[in-house]
Amino acid sequence: MAKIVSKCGCEFDNNQAVADRVREKGVENEPMPTPAKIKCVCNQTIEMTTLLYKCPHCQMTYAVTPCSASDHDYIVKAGIDY
């Protein structure tokens, strides 16, 4: 299975592990350097403003590590209400 590799080279087994790391570091409420506009799985366009963010419509949880937060390609979906 392909691993998730962050911009700084950290490896994660899956999307959930990215969210876990963000929580471990205690940075889940840190602001995004630039908010990410995301077309969510629920078809709403949302603005991710923190490193860990839940869609207000469907609770899909998005996460990005601090080192990768400036590059929105590194944002992962960790699952609904993860």
Residues that bind Zn ion (CB under 5 A): 40, 42, 55, 57-58, 60
CB 42 within 8 A of CB 60: yes
Q: What is the 3-state secondary structure (H, E, C) of 51-69?
A: CEEECCCCCEEEECCHHHC
SS3 of 21, please? helix
For the bound state, the minimum distance from the C-beta of residue 54 to Zn ion, rounded and expressed in Å, comes to 8
For the bound state, the minimum distance from the C-beta of residue 55 to Zn ion, rounded and expressed in Å, comes to 3
For the bound state, the minimum distance from the C-beta of residue 44 to Zn ion, rounded and expressed in Å, comes to 5
